[in-house]
Structure 1
Amino acid sequence: MPGRLQYKSALITGAGSGIGLESSLLFAQEGANVLLVDINLAAAERGVTLIRDRFPEVRALAFRADVGLEADVKAAVDLAVKEFGRLDIMFNNAGIMHPNDDNALNTEERIWDLTMTINVKGVWWGCKYAILAMRQNPVDEIKGLRSGGSIINTASFVAIMGAATPQLAYTASKGAVLAMTRELAMVHAREGIRVNSICPGPLKTPLLMDFLNTPEKRERRLVHLPMGRFGEAVEVAKGALFLGSDDSSYVTGTDFKVDGGLTSCYVTPVGEPALSPPASLI
């Protein structure tokens, strides 16, 4: 049975770990050729090895790029088009949450600028070059429309409701991603290019666990979570799969929340037992 991404090609940034790695594996499982892009080339190459071992029928390549450099982002997109013939899915997932990011009084300008460069400019450049590539995709002979593509931008629940643990630069950067996503979705909708953001809740990934580096910080996040647990990266990857596939063909300009109910919560019940992840995710 063909996968949901059969005959498609995808580029995923931040693909060496966390959401990016899980999405790379899941996209390949569903039939896509995948370019795994990460500033850590060895990590991306390990992902490629996993894909080739598990899904030898698809192509997977690794590429080192710093999304804070426009030339690197362009080179990554150019490589995907050269190797796969087209670009159908661009997942702008790479980002940072700097451990020295704090409130308005304590966050240094260099931390602010670094966060904005990677989390905002990196997404902008990813969208820019993906749009240029997707405009070259062939016309769908049945629909008479250019096949376009799907761009997915990783935002965060903190762009919607703010964070209990101060991280001002990160929160502001993810708010910019939401706004940018909405505008690009409107501008390019008639071209068949869909642009959506995915908003993860707190996840058990190295990025967040390195930031929540004390039991007190972790408990402060958990107390607000209706499900009483951190999410798993693969749970967000499944949301990205939906946005990248034709199952979401009428979805654009959304902020797709995968947050365990966090952004819908007013008061979390105290004393309720925490839920465990489904067995399939363990």
Structure 2
Amino acid sequence: MPFEAAARIGTHNDKVFAMSREFDGKVAFVSGAGGGIGLAIASDLLEHGAYVFAFDLKAEPDALQGHPRARFVQGDLRDSAQVQSIFDAIDKAHNKLDLVVNAAGLCFFERDGSVEKADDAVFAATIDVNLTGAIRVVRASLPLLRKAGGGAFVHIASVVGLRNMENIIDGGPADAYQISKAGLISFSRSIAMQYAREKIRSNTVCPGSISTPMTADIYVDPRRTAAMEARTPLGIIGLPADVSAATLFLLSEKARFITGIDLPVDGGLLAKL
């Protein structure tokens, strides 16, 4: 599905997923909320009653502007001081934090590849955002989750972090991206065990082929879109709304007995491999 079509139904305003005011009074942080999956998650949390602190390197999206329970901060996950500053602001405004979503992601696609193709700069930049950025968020947010008496992390990883895929797009491997997402999955499992007794849960959502602004250049090519649809058992490209639905479930009290898992949202791709 082209990105333009996906964008029209990229959040749950169309009632794809109804969780009536599940998050009333909850305070949430969402990185990567400037577009795509992060924006869908932030929008859905707002729709269901949460206060949302949204963070992205990009400018504030129109969908969040003017919302009384949304605060957008433009910043860089690679800067520890900038990351800490938003959690200081959350502490000042609410004196707690309940929900943390690491949805920021970076992939160089054509510049990524095998370890021989991708240079050090590609590996360093990808890992710094996708993995180390999430680590910075967790480190800064834990004191506020403790103030709330517990909470939940959801990290947006990828199916390529769960299973080696020789052909992530259709031009070969993307080792930097795959390594960063595998590291994120391992990190999530580690903190799930470390903080379980403090009632802090941690899970990942692992998308397959999803139509987002980051992948727009891929799906503009009908041949690539057809190839992705053909390799996915359900025969379609997923939407940000699909990933958001899984994320909101894992953040909710419905998932109170779930921690340390990795939930594929991939149209059946992993089951096929």
Q: Give the unaligned 5+ runs of structure 1.
A: 138-146, 267-282
Q: What is the one-letter code of the residue matched to 2:250?
A: L
1:67 to 70, 77, 102: 77
Identity in percent: 30
- CA distance in 1 between partners of 2:150 and 2:177 (Å): 30
CA displacement, residues 86-107 of structure 1 (integer Å, 9 cap, x when unaligned):
1100101101011311122211
Equivalent residues in 2 for 1:165-184 (5 A)?
165=169, 166-184=173-191
1:127 to 134, 138, 142: 138
1:12 to 30, 38, 60: 30
Higher relative contact order (CA 8 A, sep 6+): 2
User: Which SS does the other structure have where 1:122 is aligned?
Assistant: helix
User: Which SS does the other structure have where 1:153 is aligned?
Assistant: strand
- CA distance in 2 between partners of 1:153 and 1:115 (Å): 16
Equivalent residues in 2 for 1:37-116 (5 A)?
37-43=55-61, 46-49=62-65, 52=67, 59-99=69-109, 100-116=111-127
Equivalent residues in 2 for 1:1-282 (5 A)?
3-43=21-61, 46-49=62-65, 52=67, 59-99=69-109, 100-137=111-148, 147-163=149-165, 164=167, 165=169, 166-211=173-218, 214-266=221-273
RMSD value, Cα = 1.7
TM score, norm. by length of structure 1: 0.83
The corresponding residue for 1:278 is none
- CA distance in 1 between partners of 2:180 and 2:227 (Å): 22
Indicate if the aligned counterparts of 1:28 and 1:34 stay in contact, CA closer than 8 A: yes
- CA distance in 2 between partners of 1:213 and 1:180 (Å): 34
Q: What is the one-letter code of the residue matched to 1:129?
A: A
User: Which SS does the other structure have where 1:256 is aligned?
Assistant: strand
Indicate if the aligned counterparts of 1:181 and 1:253 stay in contact, CA closer than 8 A: yes
Indicate if the aligned counterparts of 1:35 and 1:63 stay in contact, CA closer than 8 A: yes
Q: What is the one-letter code of the residue matched to 1:236?
A: V
| Per-residue deviation, 1:219 | 3.6
Indicate if the aligned counterparts of 2:91 and 2:144 stay in contact, CA closer than 8 A: yes
User: Which SS does the other structure have where 1:152 is aligned?
Assistant: strand
Indicate if the aligned counterparts of 2:95 and 2:147 stay in contact, CA closer than 8 A: no
User: Which SS does the other structure have where 1:12 is aligned?
Assistant: strand
| Per-residue deviation, 1:211 | 4.8
Quickly say closer, same or farther: Cα 1:218–1:106, change in 2 above 3 A.
farther
Q: What is the one-letter code of the residue matched to 2:271?
A: S
Indicate if the aligned counterparts of 1:94 and 1:119 stay in contact, CA closer than 8 A: yes
| Per-residue deviation, 1:242 | 0.7
- CA distance in 1 between partners of 2:75 and 2:21 (Å): 28
Indicate if the aligned counterparts of 2:95 and 2:144 stay in contact, CA closer than 8 A: no
Higher-Rg structure is: 1
User: Which SS does the other structure have where 1:229 is aligned?
Assistant: coil
